[in-house]
């Protein structure tokens, strides 16, 4: 199980044993939206208005994928027939919903 926090951390838990396995420090800002890309990578939205790609195994930020006008509160990975694997993000209040496709 993966948990985000208002302290800028991601916590990875063993669901069955209720044991904290890892804590990954991302920033000092709130982490709002979070979605697994695959077993190795996680996407997070933070109060710096960024979408970040995190390597879960190395416990490190790979890169900032975007900067938005508002905080990213929701991130979901979807698969579309036309584009393949994509990201859908929702910004806070008037931030709107955006579709991110790989070029």
CB 46 within 8 A of CB 71: yes
Measured distance CA(36)–CA(18) in Å, rounded: 20
pLDDT tens track for 1-10:
888 888 888 8
DSSP state for residue 94 in the 8-state scheme? G
pLDDT tens track for 5-58:
888 888 889 989 999 988 888 877 778 888 888 888 888 887 777 788 888 887
At 59 the pLDDT is: 66
Nearest residue to 10 via CA among 47, 42, 49, 51 = 42
Is the pLDDT reported for residue 82 higher than 90?
Answer: yes
Question: How many degrees, rounded to 5, is the angle at CA 98 between CA 28 and CA 26?
Answer: 15
Task: Write phi, then psi, for 93 (nearest 5 degrees).
Answer: 50, -105
């Amino acid at each position: 199980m993966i948990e985000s926090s208002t302290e800028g951390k991601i916590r990875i838990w063993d669901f069955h044993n209720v044991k904290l396995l890892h804590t990954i420090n991302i920033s000092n800002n709130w982490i709002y939206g979070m979605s697994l890309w695959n077993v190795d990578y996680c996407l997070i939205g933070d109060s710096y208005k960024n979408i970040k790609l995190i390597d879960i195994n190395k416990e490190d930020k790979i890169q900032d994928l975007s900067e938005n006008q508002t905080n990213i509160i929701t991130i979901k990975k979807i698969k579309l027939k036309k584009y393949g694997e994509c990201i859908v993000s929702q910004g806070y209040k008037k931030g709107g919903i955006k579709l991110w496709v790989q070029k």
